[in-house]
Amino acid sequence: MSDVVEKTLTALPSLLSLDSHPGSAKLSSTSKLGNLIRGITELTSKHEEEKLIQHELLAIKEQVSSPNTTMRQMKELMVRSIYCEMLGYEASFSYIHAIKLAQQGTVLEKRVGYLAVSLFLNESHELLLLLVNTVLKDLQSTNLIEVCMALTVVSQMFPKDMIPAILPLVEEKLNHPKEIIRRKAVLALYKFYLIAPNQVQHIHNKFRKALCDKDPGVMTASLHIYLQMIQENPEAYKDLTPSFVTILKQVVGGKLPMDFNYHTVPAPWLQIQLLRILSLLGKNDQSTSEVMYEVLDESLQRAEMNHNITYAILYECVKCIYTIHPKSDLLEKAAKCIGNFVLSPKINLKYLGLKALTYVVQQDPKLALQHQMTIIECLDHPDLIIKRETLELLFRITNGQNVTVIVEKMLEFLCISEDDHTTIDLVGKVAELAEKYPLKYNEWFIETMNTVFSLGGDMMQPDIPNSFLKLLSEGFDSVEEDRKLRLFAVNSYIPLLRGEPGKLPQRFLQVISWVLGEYSHLREDLEPAEVLSLLAKLLDMKNSSSETKSWVLMAMTKLCKGGADASVTQEVSETYSSSLDTVLRQRAHELQYLSQDPELRARVLPRGAKPETLEVDSSLSFLDRFVSEALAAGAAPYKPPHQRQEELDQSKALSLEPYGLSLPISMSSCSITDRQSPTLLSMSSGLSGDTLKLDGIKRVWGREGYLAQREPVEEAAQVEVPSPIQSPGRQGEGDSLHSQTPTQTPTPEPEQEKQQLASSLFVGLASQSSVSLMGKSEPMPQRFRRKAKGQGLGSSFIANEQISSSLISPPSAVDNLLCNNLLDSNNASELAEQTSQLSQSLTTANGTCHAEAELTESDTKGCNPALRRDNCVVAAGPGPHNDPGRLTEVCLDSYLPAELSGLSHSEIAPLCANQSLNLSACHVQKEDSLILVVFIMNSSESAIQQIPAGEVTSYSVAVGQYSLTVKRPAVHVEVVGTVSYQLPAGTSQSLQFSYKVPLTSFIRPFVVSTEEYGTMWLSFSHDTKQNLTLINDNQEPLTATLNALKKKLQLHVVEVIGMEGIVACRLLQDLPCLMHCRVNAGWLAVWLRSPVPDLPDCLIYHCQRALQSL
Amino acid sequence: MIKAILIFNNHGKPRLIRFYQYFAEDMQQQIIRETFHLVSKRDDNVCNFLEGGSLIGGSDYKLIYRHYATLYFVFCVDSSESELGILDLIQVSCSFVFVETLDKCFENVCELDLIFHMDKVHYILQEVVMGGMVLETNMNEIVAQVEVQNRMEKSEGGLSAAPARAVSAVKNMNLPEIPRNINIGDINIKVPSLSPF
């Protein structure tokens, strides 16, 4: 044994007999703390204690603030304040003095000061900043004790922001000759790592040095850091495995100094730490695990079962063996060890044995079988903790055969458990088991759940009753079984309600009322009137919460049939229709109306509706008509908050432009033009006039609504392929538009916006295909269908909310719109802005300065129809770099420019034609651009002069190519252009076309690392969330789905981790969009984020389409 | 990590409280009360581990405690600590507290000695557990540290601090075997019948 031990051993006897009155020897009679403590012990009531302490605190306060108090006295005062604080009395006045003491005192006083500071303050306390300087000074001190104290206080608490100030000094201490300083420095750095990992990143190699320190104490301290870091990222530290193994081998082999022995076990805490690290490293990694087999074996053998601490090591060893890649002979030994634990008469070991079994049993259920008798004994153990642990073990080995017994045991335990935490946990487990194996034991299931509800009370997780009701309503395969199950539930609830329902928890009452409302008709001998009166009784109970009451009212709504029950329902609905609680009032009104109108009730709450088709129309599309009516009546469309904010910011700037013509006038002038020249122009203005409205609809009801709306709309847009032939048909529409416009926006528009609208119309690059008048009428049937579905669900509890909102929403929607009207400027301007932006970007992309110049001109002169046409022609006309091929063949493929011919292009679609020209187009996806290729074929006999450049001879083809970019994303991007040309006769003519490109053509994969993804994710502001269907045809639905999306949409899958995946893409040129996918309850929960508004919405639409088309 | 060390007596009066994670003052008192409530219900022949009350943070937290005479020593730890390891750490630290600070063996220990030397107890604990981490389990090292500090005190204050002496006593002591009827010294303590709540 070491010297110290021997010395102390010899000194011990004399010391033990030193004095027989140790207490008195130590307590100076004048000690004020002593007096205080003595005073307190003599008191008899809490009240007196309070009085005494308050008095004491006053005295302390007076003294600490007196200038005459010496540091020495201050030290004594601090100890007294610490004592008072410990008892729960605040002594905040002394905090500043504690800091002062640490600053100014001698070493001993400093020590008290630091102690008081570390007990009084916390990391975010503002006074702590005052300590920073003191710590800095002490870290530089030559007195070891001062350095130690400073390091200690730093590792207890230190303001995060001030770490950089002292970090170099602490780092320096890693090289200090004294090991105690090095050790404390390592722990201080560990603390820094915990609170601000970024700031110590650069010193990771110093941690390695600490691990190799010659002093085992320093090495032990560094293991704290490694345990933490390996927990976070085991992969990065695999290379250290051999080092850890070597260290453990040396420790186990007794190479450490004897000082480290504890009960003859060498450095047990160090061993525990190392075993934990090894198990983290070896998890799921065969080659790493193989390195450690030998040392684990040795640890198992060396640990003789003689003391607690060896058991601690063994326990860690066993856990490690079962965590790493398995090796059979080690497993065998470990299993034997667990046996020793479980069979031990020492209760602590038994507890750990059960814990180990629980941990192990999933891999090796046989082990539990071996110890079944012990487990049974433990079940009846007087110690609740042991019982609880046993139940945990049983929970893991539950199967179809033993479930009833195990659940029974758990319920027994629940009855005696007093701890809320345990109850909540256990109730959840019972419910999980009961739902997992309900099939064979209908009655058992209901009875168990009843016990769960009554025992778990209102503490349990809210999803338990929800999933119970879901199970009940969805049923299983057999209709007869379902009926029996429900009937049994009803049968079991009726007596409960007849008894003393006041004792049942609220959640249970809610479940009961739902079940009775849905299924009480299954019991034929039961009169609805009786159920109604039972339910009505619940309403009268004092302790019913208003939530319960609304459940009851809902149930009554389902049950009332008029006639005999009318009086009960009438009374109830009258009572609650004046309730202060709006939900209750709502329910009461529903009850009143539906009970009087059986037909409506049957439609709204059909009996026996199946909730499988649970589909909430989150787009609220059933309100479309209402919204469009409101819009037509002059309400402003909804704008998402970010857009509103942007506009608000814009409007804050002074507008120097004078107010121009009001929009209605410009709109009507547009439509007049339309009538005169029934070409695309009219259509595009009609389109945008309408876009404006339906766009608004989409926005009013949120992003989710988007998709359901789009589909029909898009088809409608396709019908409107612009060509002069269709123009007569257009006219009527133009008319109707015309008649609408005057009422639309009575607000005066700033001139600029109006001009933008005009120019956007005439440059002819419509922003999106999104909507048209036709689109409005088409979704109707679908909408009805959806609504009907919602009503079918009305009887299920979730959908009930939905339907009620549909019942009450009209007034609120009006509110909304009015509100928007006040808040927002008109949507027309927004659209105008949008389109003009788009058109500008497109023109710029053309690469012809000429076109761009022309465009600006058209901007200013946008109001003049005549001018407009001309400009438009130029803007959209082929640029000078055209590549006119001169061939008469109609096979347009061969006209593709040479540099594009190798790339995949979309089908070449005819755009429009007249007697002299045929226009076709396709788009080609290049790696970082999208090229629109327009084929202009002269089908006439004479050459045609193009404006501004080029000549297309008879029966030849001119090809123009334009690179497209998108500034404002839309589901489809529509490019509208005009070709204007001159026949030899000299008459100038023009031909309009439009071409639609899906947004997906602009999407390119975006290659980023996970880290970059993380930082980007946080910085993007626009997001949307949606559930998508998963592809379920193989084992890995997530990967399969992501791959499908990747293939269809050109996304880049960044990483897939377990049930989550992250995906990135960009919209040409460089507008990123990030996508986070998570598998959740059979759905793929997708969350998109992007810096570009609308991009997430549009993309999710395409994702949905892509998945649907599979 | 160790979240808190609580020492209170059989009546729930706190004797030494050290939190390594921040809790507001009233929360601390509530934790002490609840912990006492949980621990005091338990017999001496049941296991020394408790699944944490919901207060300190649910099932990830454990209470590991020992009951010596009139005092409960409770460590609140998270799942990264070994149960048995902590149990022995409690034994080590309180042996030190008694043997080192108070110059006496367990036979003579009394609860009041502990509070009269509250600051010293804190210093010793600081050497064993630093910022929630187990710093030193090498007995000699702790003794050396405490000794340095005591020497300092001696030179300054005249109170005769005792040299370290009981390393082996600590190393080989098995506390549970020590008789429980402890001589309370010469102070006549009226057991306070304060209701702690």
Q: Which residues contact A781 (CB under 8 A, 6 or more apart)?
A: none
Residues in A 955-984 with any Cβ partner in B closer than 8 A: none
Q: How many helices (DSSP H) and strands (DSSP E) are in chain B?
A: 6, 7
The secondary element (H helix, E strand) that includes residue A549 is helix A546-559
Residue A275: what pLDDT? 92
Residue carrying structure tokens 């590792």: A155
pLDDT digits (tens, 9 = 90+) for B63-94: 899 887 788 889 988 888 888 888 888 887 77
SS3 A1027: strand
Find out whether A413 and A425 touch, Cβ atoms under 8 Å.
Answer: no
Find out whether A64 and A94 touch, Cβ atoms under 8 Å.
Answer: yes
Instruction: Report the chain A residue with the minimal C-alpha distance to residue B169.
Output: A9
User: What number of C-beta contacts closer than 8 Å exist between A and B?
Assistant: 244
* Test the A interface: residue of B135, B172, B186, B197 with most A CBs within 10 Å: B135
pTM, 2 dp: 0.56
Report which of residues B176 and A1069 the model is more confident about: A1069
The CA distance from B164 to the nearest CA of chain A, in Å, is 7
The CA distance from A1081 to the nearest CA of chain B, in Å, is 25
d(CA A1024, CA A1042): 18
A308 and B87 within 8 Å at the Cβ level: the answer is yes
For B72, phi and psi rounded to 5 degrees? -105, 130
Give me the half-sphere count of Cα atoms (radius 13 Å) on the Cβ side of residue A27: 21
Residues of A in contact with B196 (CB under 8 A): 46
d(CA B47, CA A347): 5
Whether chain B has a CB inside 8 Å of the CB on A942: the answer is: no
When pLDDT is cut at 50, 70 and 90, the band that residue A564 belongs to is: low
Residues of A in contact with B111 (CB under 8 A): none
A12 and B139 within 8 Å at the Cβ level: the answer is no
User: Which of A54-58, A925-929, B8-12 bottoms out in mean pLDDT, i.e. has the lowest?
Assistant: A925-929
Report which of residues A323 and A20 the model is more confident about: A323
Q: Where are the alpha helices (DSSP H) in A849-1004?
A: 849-860, 865-876, 898-901
From the list A535, A384, A548, the residue with the least C-alpha distance to A458 is: A548
Degrees, nearest 5: CA angle A633-A637-A639: 170
d(CA A964, CA A838): 10
Render B86-101 in DSSP notation, one character per residue.
HHHHHHHHHHHIIIII
Res. A20: pLDDT tops 60: no
Res. A974: pLDDT tops 70: yes
Q: Residue A37: which of B115, B134, B136 has the nearest Cβ?
A: B115
A385 and B186 within 8 Å at the Cβ level: the answer is no
Interval A181-205 mean pLDDT: 86
The CA distance from A501 to the nearest CA of chain B, in Å, is 30
d(CA A875, CA A855): 6
When pLDDT is cut at 50, 70 and 90, the band that residue A777 belongs to is: very low
User: Which of A309-313, A550-554, A906-910 bottoms out in mean pLDDT, i.e. has the lowest?
Assistant: A906-910
d(CA A240, CA A255): 20
Report which of residues A802 and B107 the model is more confident about: B107
B138 and A217 within 8 Å at the Cβ level: the answer is yes
Residue carrying structure tokens 């893409």: A1065
pLDDT digits (tens, 9 = 90+) for A644-665: 777 766 655 554 445 544 444 3
From the list A1034, A1027, A987, the residue with the least C-alpha distance to A1107 is: A1027
Q: Are strands B62-68 and A1003-1005 parallel, antiparallel or unpaired?
A: unpaired
The secondary element (H helix, E strand) that includes residue A674 is helix A663-676
d(CA A989, CA A979): 8
Residues of B in contact with A315 (CB under 8 A): 82-84
The chain-wide mean pLDDT, for chain A, equals 71
Whether chain B has a CB inside 8 Å of the CB on A155: the answer is: yes
Residue carrying structure tokens 């047990």: A268
CB atoms within 10 A of CB A297: 16
Residues of A in contact with B169 (CB under 8 A): 8, 12
A8 and B164 within 8 Å at the Cβ level: the answer is yes
State the DSSP code for B109: -
CB atoms within 10 A of CB A622: 18
Res. A153: pLDDT tops 50: yes
Residues in A 325-354 with any Cβ partner in B closer than 8 A: 347-348, 350-352
Residues of A in contact with B87 (CB under 8 A): 308, 312, 348
ipTM above 0.85, yes or no: no
Q: Which residues contact A742 (CB under 8 A, 6 or more apart)?
A: A664, A668
Q: Residue B17: which of A86, A183, A308 has the nearest Cβ?
A: A86
The angle, 0 to 180 degrees and rounded to 10, between the axes of the packed helices A129-139 and A163-172 is: 20
Assigned token pair, A203 = 């010193």
A4 and B46 within 8 Å at the Cβ level: the answer is no
pLDDT digits (tens, 9 = 90+) for A752-763: 554 443 333 333
When pLDDT is cut at 50, 70 and 90, the band that residue B171 belongs to is: very low
d(CA A19, CA A8): 18
Residues of A in contact with B122 (CB under 8 A): 115, 119
Q: In b/e form, how buried is each residue of A828-850, taking b as 16+ CB within 10 angstroms?
A: bbbbbbbbbbbbbebbebbebeb
pLDDT digits (tens, 9 = 90+) for A682-714: 333 333 333 333 333 434 343 443 444 333 333
For A1099, phi and psi rounded to 5 degrees? -70, -40
Assigned token pair, A267 = 């450095």
A383 and B118 within 8 Å at the Cβ level: the answer is no
The CA distance from A282 to the nearest CA of chain B, in Å, is 17
Find out whether B68 and B94 touch, Cβ atoms under 8 Å.
Answer: yes
A312 and B16 within 8 Å at the Cβ level: the answer is no
Q: How far is residue A798 from each of residues A550, A554, A785, A810, A926, measured CA to CA in Å? A: 13, 12, 19, 20, 48
Instruction: Report the chain B residue with the minimal C-alpha distance to residue A158.
Output: B131
Interval A176-187 mean pLDDT: 88
Render A935-953 in DSSP notation, one character per residue.
EEEE-SSS-EEESSS-EE-
Render A235-293 in DSSP notation, one character per residue.
GGGGGGHHHHHHHHHHHHTT-S-GGGEETTEESHHHHHHHHHHHHHHHBT-HHHHHHHH
For A380, phi and psi rounded to 5 degrees? -100, 15
Query: Long-range pairs for A113-117 at CB < 8 Å and ≥24 separation?
Result: A113/A75, A113/A78, A114/A149, A114/A150, A114/A152, A114/A153, A115/A78, A115/A82, A115/B119, A115/B122, A115/B123, A115/B126, A116/A78, A116/A81, A116/A82, A117/A153
The CA distance from B76 to the nearest CA of chain A, in Å, is 16
* Test the B interface: residue of A262, A318, A390, A416 with most B CBs within 10 Å: A262
The CA distance from B81 to the nearest CA of chain A, in Å, is 9
When pLDDT is cut at 50, 70 and 90, the band that residue A18 belongs to is: very low
The CA distance from A44 to the nearest CA of chain B, in Å, is 5
Instruction: Report the chain B residue with the minimal C-alpha distance to residue A382.
Output: B46
The CA distance from A15 to the nearest CA of chain B, in Å, is 7
From the list A123, A50, A58, the residue with the least C-alpha distance to A88 is: A50
Render A569-631 in DSSP notation, one character per residue.
HHHHHHHHTT-SSHHHHHHHHHHHHHHH-HHHHHHHS-TT--GGG----TT-GGGHHHHHHHH
Residue carrying structure tokens 């608004």: A696
For B131, phi and psi rounded to 5 degrees? 55, 30
SS3 B62: strand
Residues of A in contact with B13 (CB under 8 A): 87
Interval A563-577 mean pLDDT: 75
d(CA A416, CA A430): 15
Residues of A in contact with B119 (CB under 8 A): 79, 82, 112, 115
Residues in A 290-309 with any Cβ partner in B closer than 8 A: 308-309
Assigned token pair, B162 = 């005792």
Q: In b/e form, how buried is each residue of A952-989, taking b as 16+ CB within 10 angstroms?
A: beebbbbbbbbbbbbebbbbbbbbbbbbbbeeeeeeeb
Residue carrying structure tokens 């000061």: A113
Burial label, A865 (beta-carbon count in 10 A; 0-12, 13-18, 19+): middle
Pick left, alpha or beta for residue A1050 (phi over 0 → left; psi -120 to 50 → alpha; otherwise beta): left
Q: How far is residue B12 from each of residues A119, A353, A788, B8, B77, measured CA to CA in Å? A: 20, 31, 64, 5, 20
Q: Where are the alpha helices (DSSP H) in A27-68?
A: 32-42, 46-65
Residue A632: what pLDDT? 86
Interval A1014-1034 mean pLDDT: 78
A22 and B104 within 8 Å at the Cβ level: the answer is yes
Q: Residue B46: which of A45, A227, A385 has the nearest Cβ?
A: A385
Whether chain B has a CB inside 8 Å of the CB on A221: the answer is: yes
Res. A264: pLDDT tops 50: yes
The secondary element (H helix, E strand) that includes residue A683 is helix A680-700
Q: Which residues contact A68 (CB under 8 A, 6 or more apart)?
A: none
Residues of A in contact with B103 (CB under 8 A): 15, 18, 22, 26
